Amino acid sequence: MSSEIKKKKFGYSKFEKMNFPFIYLMIAFPIIQFLVFWVYVNASSIALSFQTAQGEFTFRNISAVFKAFNTVDSYGLNFGESLKHSLIIWGISHLIVFPISIITTYILQRQIFGHYVWRVCYIIPSLMGSIIWTTLIKYIVAYDGPVVTLLLQAGADLPEMVRHSGLLASEKTALPTVIAVSTIMGLVGNSAVLTGAFSRVPDEIFESAKLDGAGFWRECFQIAIPCVWSTLVMMMTFSLCSIFTSDVNVFLYSNGTGEPGMTTVGFHLYIITYRISMSGGARTSYGYPAALGLVLTCMTLPVVLIGRWLLDKLQDAVEL
């Protein structure tokens, strides 16, 4: 590259330089906030993984995490079980429910009868918030609620614990119930991002496709979805980041205990922070929870990077 072009590309005009004070003043606070609450916090978390409470260097915390994979840790939780549950939840919600929700979002966007009303209905759980929603669900799946009543009338062989205390009381039914609720909520498209992406697909494309004789499903899979593919890739990338931290409000469903058999990694991490906060954080041992986070990050990173690489390859293949 010639020095002239280089100068044009990288130099700043006098006019541009006049804006620098304004620009840097504007971005100062967000940058400092980021440096403190993201960079420092995450770095501190990494550092704490290798520290004893006295501040000495140690690998003890990391080895405690690996031990906790198949036993109960110092917080009384089985990390291996939590990991297994999280993977199941992620698998169901992102490999089964998400593809279905793409189709349901698409059909809603095609303005099926009553689409406006359905959309408002589907967003209601998110608007109500987790606290209210989970409390209501707890009543609905209680021993005297409509779900257990209907199941018994249909002749289902429910554990006695369920008949006495509801679907969330038995190890066999608690986690499946919670997964079922989140599946029902996820099946219908209420993602604002995806809806917005579909709304930007031009009508002309469908008209010309129709002229070419494309049927309904062909419009869906060969026109609409490729048009929003970049958005889907972005959503799938974000979903990869949550592969080990999928949470379905276990804390609320289980009154903060994770029982019976409902713990997830997200719950595990939250309950640790919650207990630390309840204790006031005074001179507590942050090493183990920090090491837990570090190990999880190291597990997630390769998955995310490989996943992103695969998705980028797919994106290139699909892009118009």
Length of the chain in residues, anyone? 320
Beta-carbon contacts of residue 182 (< 8 Å; ≥ 6 apart): 89, 93, 248, 249
Q: Is 221 in the site for another protein (CB under 8 A)?
A: no
Task: Find where tokens 């939250």 sit.
Answer: 270
Taking the complex as a whole, how short is the minimal distance between the CB of residue 170 and another protein, in angstroms?
A: 8
**With contact defined as beta carbons under 8 Å apart, do 49 and 60 qualify?**
no
Among 79, 90, 244, 267, binds another protein (CB under 8 A): 244
Q: Which is nearer to another protein, 91 or 149 (CB)?
A: 149
Among 95, 96, 128, 310, binds another protein (CB under 8 A): 128
Q: Is 218 in the site for another protein (CB under 8 A)?
A: no
| Rounded Cα gap, residues 101 and 209, in angstroms | 23
Q: Is 222 in the site for another protein (CB under 8 A)?
A: no
Calculate the dihedral angle through the C-alpha atoms of 83, 259, 279, 284, rounding to the nearest 10 degrees: -30
Among 6, 63, 76, 99, binds another protein (CB under 8 A): 76
**With contact defined as beta carbons under 8 Å apart, do 48 and 287 qualify?**
yes
For residue 302, what are its two tokens?
């390769």
Interface with another protein: number of residues (CB under 8 A):
150
Q: Is 226 in the site for another protein (CB under 8 A)?
A: no
Please state the φ and ψ torsions of residue 12, each to the nearest 5 degrees: -120, 135
Q: Is 150 in the site for another protein (CB under 8 A)?
A: no
Stretch that binds another protein, among 82-90, 91-99, 168-176 (CB under 8 A): 168-176
Give the 3-state secondary structure of residue 200: coil
Q: What is the DSSP string of 210-251?
A: HHTT--HHHHIIIIIHHHTHHHHHHHHHHHHHTTTT---SHH
Taking the complex as a whole, how short is the minimal distance between the CB of residue 317 and another protein, in angstroms?
A: 14
Q: How far is CA 16 from the centre of its chain?
A: 41
Taking the complex as a whole, how short is the minimal distance between the CB of residue 88 and another protein, in angstroms?
A: 18
Among 6, 7, 23, 222, binds another protein (CB under 8 A): 23
Q: Which is nearer to another protein, 92 or 254 (CB)?
A: 254
**Which residues in 91-110 contact another protein (CB under 8 A)?**
104, 107-110
Q: Is 69 in the site for another protein (CB under 8 A)?
A: no
Taking the complex as a whole, how short is the minimal distance between the CB of residue 74 and another protein, in angstroms?
A: 8
For 86, 172, 247, 248, the CA distances from 175, given in Å and listed in that order, are: 11, 7, 11, 10
Q: Is 176 in the site for another protein (CB under 8 A)?
A: no
Taking the complex as a whole, how short is the minimal distance between the CB of residue 101 and another protein, in angstroms?
A: 11
Q: Is 250 in the site for another protein (CB under 8 A)?
A: no
Calculate the dihedral angle through the C-alpha atoms of 67, 178, 191, 314, rounding to the nearest 10 degrees: 50
Among 7, 66, 96, 120, binds another protein (CB under 8 A): 120
Q: Which is nearer to another protein, 89 or 169 (CB)?
A: 169
Give the 3-state secondary structure of residue 163: helix
Q: Is 183 in the site for another protein (CB under 8 A)?
A: no
**With contact defined as beta carbons under 8 Å apart, do 201 and 228 qualify?**
yes
Q: Which is nearer to another protein, 88 or 285 (CB)?
A: 285
Quick note: the x/- pattern for another protein over 27-46, rule CB under 8 A, is x-xxx-xxxxxxxxxxxxxx
